[in-house]
Structure 1
Amino acid sequence: MSDCGCEKAIEELGEYLHHELCAEDEATVREHLANCPSCREELRVNSALIESVQRACRERAPETLRLQVLAALAASPDRHAPTTPAP
């Protein structure tokens, strides 16, 4: 395998982290990361960012806030609120 280089590795880092690359491209990026401290650091930063976003998305708003938002959406002229509140 040939090294894909920093530019391509960084460009494909998001897809690599989400396992969206074909097997060949994933192997090429993995090989580059194994040999490039700078890109490994970029991988570490991006991994931490993704983990933080995923953790934040699992958190639930306080019930009173959720009900206020649903009521405001129901009262708006555009009425894009769901017909039944989510649990």
Structure 2
Amino acid sequence: MSDCGCDKARRDLEEYLRHEVCKTSHDDIEQHLEGCPGCQDEALVARTLTEVVARACKESAPEDLRDLVLARLSAAQTSR
């Protein structure tokens, strides 16, 4: 195992966080992150962003907003 360096760690960070890199690359990036505060910060931002987006995808709009949007879309289609 060797430190892969900042360039590779940052380039492959998203795949690393999704566990989509091979075991060797995963271990190399993990080792790099343990010793590099800058890349640790990048990883924290990426993890946080991923979690926020995942939560947002699970939320749904209030029913009255949904009804309003559908009514306006319907009105726009009939006015054409």
Q: Per residue, is there more helix in 1 or in 2?
A: 2
Deviation at 1:76, TM superposition (A): 4.3
Measure the CA separation in 2 of the matches of 1:31 and 1:45.
Answer: 18
Q: Is 1:24 matched with 2:24? A: yes
2:29 and 2:66 mapped to 1: Cα distance? 42
The TM-score normalised by the length of structure 2 is 0.81
Q: Work out the percentage of aligned pairs sharing the same amino acid.
A: 50
Partner SS for 2:56: helix
Instruction: Provide structure 2 residue ranges, at least 5 long, that are not aligned to the other structure.
Output: none
C-alpha RMSD over aligned residues:
2.0
Higher RCO (CA-CA < 8 Å; seq separation 6+): 2
1:8-87 matches, within 5 Å, as 8-71=8-71, 72=73, 76=77
Amino acid paired to 1:49? L
* Residues 4-43 of structure 1: CA deviation (Å, up to 9, x unaligned): 1001000111011111111111111101101111101111
Whole-Å Cα distance in 1 between the matches of residues 69 and 24 of structure 2? 46
Q: Provide the rounded CA distance (Å) in 2 between the counterparts of 1:44 and 1:65.
A: 34
Identify unmatched segments of 5+ residues in structure 1: 78-87
